[in-house]
Amino acid sequence: MRRRSPGFLLAAPAWAWLLIFFIAPVAMVVWFSFGYKPSIFATQATDKLSFDRYAEVLDPTFFATFQNTLWVGIAGTALCFLIGLPVAYWMAVKAPPSKRGLLVALVMVPFWTNFLVRTIGWQVILSPDGWLSTALQAVGFEPLAILNTRGAVLLGVVYNYLPLMILPLFVAFDRVNGPLREASKDLGAGKWTTFFRVTLPLAQPGIIAGVLLVYIPLMGDYITATVLGGAKGNMVGQLVASQFQTAQNWALGSAMAVVLIFVILLSAGIGAGIVWLVTLPFRARNRLVIGPPAPVPSAPSPGSGPAAASASIREEVGA
């Protein structure tokens, strides 16, 4: 066994970073969520701990916003997956290898511009008196009425988060190398069977990474919802931000954030469970367990395959 200490030391800066900038703040948020807002000029106090803020969180307005957030989060992630999957597959498998670097760079291009600016860009495009709406009206359509709806938020998040889905999927498909797909076809499987039985299962880590990379930040996103959603496209992220920034009630904001974290974990777990259940029959159909060989005295014992095999070959040759 290798000694552990050098590797652990190498990871120390990362651990320190994680502790100071991730674990500690989350712990603070959880701590604050049990406190209260003592006066109009103070943001939070924790001298008396209670679950009161959680009771406050679960009012009907918040519930409706949560439903909306979940809807956008799930629909947005699903859309990113459905759009990103063929694109990533094409980039990794079908596109000429010499062009792949360029394609990855093109996927990254939107990141060169500020997130907020890009989202405001969509506001301009989707506005009822924007150029798109004007152009549509010129050919006889109604003015665009998409801005400040949930649809606009969905469009915005798909646009903003799609690269985060494509990149891990691309890496995953790229890793499932050509010989495996060729072996599948060689053994009689067509392209669809090859995709569903070889390519997709082996891309699983990339799919999980892509879905989580999109779903988690999307659930907490409030810029897209603020810019494109208006009142109808309200998301939990906005409520949390407004508690911290406008209402100056950190205790309530923290409680909302904790509920959000909980909902994200729970929904991701449920999602994984659903996928597991749906794919269960397919996996069961292809499963084949042989079990240990029957104890025949002359048969080579398990664990001595090649040695026994070459011994038997020598016997055959010698005979």
Partner 1 sequence: MTTATTIEAGGGTAPGVGAAQGEAPGTVVIDSVTKQYGDATAVDRLSLTIQPGEFISLLGPSGCGKTTTLRMIAGFEHPDAGDIRVSGRSVLGVPPYRRDVNTVFQAYALFPHMSVAENVAYGLQQKRTPKSEIRQRVVDALDLAQMRGFADRKPTQLSGGQQQRVALARALVNRPSVLLLDEPLGALDRQLREEMQLELKLLQSRLGITFVFVTHDQGEALSMSDRIAIMRSGRIEQLADADTVYARPVSAYVAAFVGQQNFFRGTVGGDGSSIDATHAKVRAASASLQEGTAGQAAVRPEFVEIAADGPTAAASGTPNTARGTLIGVSHQGETMQYLVQLGDDQSLIARRPSPEAPQLAVGDAVVCSWRAESVLLFPSDDAASAGGYVAPPTA
CB of 1 to partner 1, least distance (A): 19
Beta carbon nearer to partner 1, 195 or 215: 195
Q: Distance between CA atoms of 85 and 5, rounded to whole angstroms?
A: 41
Q: Are 208 and 169 in contact (CB under 8 A)?
A: no
Least distance in angstroms from the C-beta of 290 to partner 1? 4
Is the backbone of residue 288 left (phi > 0), alpha (psi -120 to 50) or beta? beta
Contact of 98 with 202, CB cutoff 8 Å: no
Q: How far apart are CA 262 and CA 68, in angstroms?
A: 16
Residue placing its CB nearer to partner 1 in the complex, 100 or 197: 197
Nearer to partner 1, 206 or 237 (CB): 206
C-alpha of 179 from chain center: 29
Q: Which residues bind partner 1 (CB under 8 A)?
A: 179-180, 182-190, 193, 197-198, 201-202, 286-293, 299-306, 308-310, 312-313, 316-317
Q: How many CB atoms sit inside 10 A of residue 256's CB?
A: 28
- Minimum CB distance to partner 1, residue 169 (Å): 17
Nearest distance in Å: CB 182, partner 1: 6
Burial of 50 (0-12, 13-18, 19+ CB in 10 A): exposed
Q: Which is nearer to partner 1, 199 or 243 (CB)?
A: 199
Residue 118 backbone phi and psi in degrees, to 5: -65, -40
Q: What is the DSSP letter of 147?
A: T
Nearer to partner 1, 13 or 292 (CB): 292
By beta-carbon proximity to partner 1, the closer residue of 140 and 302 is 302
CB of 25 to partner 1, least distance (A): 38
Residue 177 C-beta: closest distance to partner 1, Å: 8
Q: Which is nearer to partner 1, 41 or 192 (CB)?
A: 192
Compute the least distance from the CB of residue 75 to partner 1, in Å.
30
Could you please report the per-residue DSSP string of 272-318? HHHHHHHHHHHHHHH-----SPP--TTSPPTT-HHHHHHHHHHHHHH
Nearest partner of 243 among 44, 95, 109, judged by Cα:
44
Minimum gap (Å) between residue 187 Cβ and partner 1: 4
Of the pair 50, 279, the CB lying nearest partner 1 is at 279
Provide the 3-class DSSP secondary structure of residue 96: coil
